[in-house]
A and B are shown apart, each in its own frame.
Chain A
Amino acid sequence: MLVMGGIALIAAGMLLGDLFAVFVLHQNAGRIGEHLMAATDAVTAQNPQAALQNFAAIGRRLESRGTKVDAHAHVIAFGYLALLLALLQPCLALSEAARRRLAQLFLAGAVLLPVSVFLIHYVGLEYSPLESIGWASIAADFGGLLVIVACAGYGVGLVRHLGRGGSADDSLLRDRSRSARLLLAGGTLLILAGFLHGAYYAAVDLAEHEARESRILSTMVERAAQKDAAAAHQAVADYGMLQGEKAVAIAAHSHIIEFGLLAILMAFLQPYVMLSEPWKQRWAALLLSGSVVLPVFVLAELRLGLVAGGIADFGGLMVIVALLGMLVGVVRYTGGLDAGRPAP
């Protein structure tokens, strides 16, 4: 249940991310830019009401974007956690019925939270008993609570297991097939590359980006107030460019690490993938290739433009196809490994 749920969550999250990147992200950023330009013009025209109206529109656009990004990130993170919890099963001193209930609880929360987060923008504060939190937010928080309770249950199982001496049947972890080793080595290197890129970004770019954003906003209002429309519009363009720089750096950092985690998880799950070894290797190679293509071309997007964006989206598609290929293998799994597992 956890393996299939986890892969399905990850594939759904990546599909949502790809659809979001192709159909929403750039269009949304364009509209935000237009409203910011209009707000700057309102400052020039000494019209505070129009400035506020444009910022209300920007707020709605940012909420639409933010909730979709959050839904995408959470559904994938819960997918990883589901796969990890599947691998932890031999280390949990819990009855089969308790395992099944915890898995159901976890998956219910893992679906409820991202779906509710996605709906926050559309449901708003309609019929809400609270001043600033709508029903969709309440449902999302409840989903998070379900996941926490399920994880706490798994924690109890792990503590009980460790208390009994901590022996482990690790038939899954002893897989030394070429596909498993390829995924384990590739995943570890991807994570290390992501950490180094994140450290570089934090040390070199982060503070400079924050300082530049403050400067650009000050310039925007100063120039607009001085009725220097050209300079104010240039500041809006600079602001858009800076948001792009920040977005690609963060997206590349988070995606390369997530794909590394995914590759390591899939390395352990190879015994569940009932396909011939050459096909398992092909899916592993496709997953790792997509995992490199997406973040590298996301980073190149600022220099190469939409071509790089398209290639990055194609990288995401490669990962989705590889996952679906592995999922077919998991669906064909007959339960042989679990049948040999000792009772807790």
Chain B
Amino acid sequence: MSTSMTASRKLLLAGGLVLVLWAMSFGLWYALFLEHRMLERMGGALATGFAQAADRKMEDAHASLATYSRTQFDYVRQVDVHSHWGGLAILLMLLGLAFDRVGFSERARTALAALLVAGSFLFPLGVLLQTVDPGAGPKALGAAGAAMVILALSVVTVGFARGERTS
């Protein structure tokens, strides 16, 4: 049986596919051009810090440890962003397949789909921007994106339950 695809499903499927391509391209670029440098810098800074402490150059040692902490801060976020964009993309496409089962009007479903797509892009983007500016702005963007995804998914869960009751 053929059924026409609703706008909310189109939005989630297309948004998810674009996001998964974006996530993989980011991962490939990161693996090719940045990851090895980050790992070398992180390991080098920590080892150098201990060697400097052994030489009793304590100021240098603390500076090396600070470099290690800063690099690790960036590395953790860069890897997290790759996995979160990819994971959220898969979730968007999965929800896109089943979105007609959400027991709300198509208008409400389209608004939920838009919230999910926007949150899925903005949340990791905010995390990534923290590596450039560790201030409040990127943190707020990441938190807002995460809140959008959690809120939308909570409403979708209720919608699935309503859809099952009415089907």
A interface vs B, CB < 8 Å? 39-40, 42-43, 45-52, 55-56, 58-59, 62, 73, 77, 80-81, 84, 87-88, 91, 132-133, 137, 140-141, 144-145, 147-148, 151-152, 154-155, 158-159, 162, 165-171, 173-174, 176, 181, 184-185, 188-189, 191-192, 195-196, 198-199, 202-203, 210, 213-214, 217-218, 221-222, 224-225, 254, 257-258, 261, 264-265, 268, 342
A4: shortest Cβ distance to chain B, in Å? 19
B interface vs A, CB < 8 Å? 1-5, 9-10, 13-14, 17-18, 20-21, 24-25, 27-28, 31-32, 36-37, 40, 43, 46-47, 49-56, 58, 61-62, 65-66, 68-69, 72-73, 83, 86-87, 90-91, 93-94, 97-98, 100-101, 142-143, 146-147, 149-150, 153-154, 156-157, 160-161, 164, 167
**Given contact pairs A84-B90, A225-B56, A166 touches B150 in the complex (Cβ within 8 A):** no
In the complex, chain B residues whose CB is within 8 Å of the CB of A188? 153, 156-157, 160
Q: Is B47 a contact of A184 with CB atoms below 8 Å?
A: no
Select from chain A the residue with minimum beta-carbon distance to B65.
Answer: A217
In the complex, chain B residues whose CB is within 8 Å of the CB of A189? 157
**Given contact pairs A168-B3, A342-B2, A148 touches B28 in the complex (Cβ within 8 A):** yes
Q: Is B160 a contact of A144 with CB atoms below 8 Å?
A: no
How many A-B pairs have beta carbons closer than 8 Å: the answer is: 189
Q: Is A144 a contact of B3 with CB atoms below 8 Å?
A: no
In the complex, chain B residues whose CB is within 8 Å of the CB of A217? 46, 49, 65, 68-69
In the complex, chain A residues whose CB is within 8 Å of the CB of B93? 84, 88
Q: Is B10 a contact of A195 with CB atoms below 8 Å?
A: no
- CA–CA, A43 to B58, complex, Å? 11
- CA–CA, A181 to B69, complex, Å? 46
- CA–CA, A62 to B2, complex, Å? 52
In the complex, chain B residues whose CB is within 8 Å of the CB of A159? 14
In the complex, chain B residues whose CB is within 8 Å of the CB of A167? 2-5
SS class, residues of chain A in contact with chain B: helix
13 A-B pairs within 8 Å (CB atoms) are namely A46-B55, A46-B56, A48-B54, A84-B94, A91-B5, A132-B37, A155-B18, A185-B164, A188-B153, A195-B149, A195-B153, A221-B49, A261-B87
In the complex, chain B residues whose CB is within 8 Å of the CB of A162? 5, 10, 14
A226: shortest Cβ distance to chain B, in Å? 10
Q: Is A48 a contact of B55 with CB atoms below 8 Å?
A: yes
A17: shortest Cβ distance to chain B, in Å? 15
Select from chain A the residue with minimum beta-carbon distance to B37.
Answer: A132
Closest 4 CB pairs of A and B: A55-B47, A166-B5, A48-B51, A221-B53
- CA–CA, A49 to B51, complex, Å? 7
Residue among A166, A171, A199, A264 having the largest count of chain B Cβ atoms under 10 Å: A166
- CA–CA, A23 to B83, complex, Å? 25
B166: shortest Cβ distance to chain A, in Å? 12
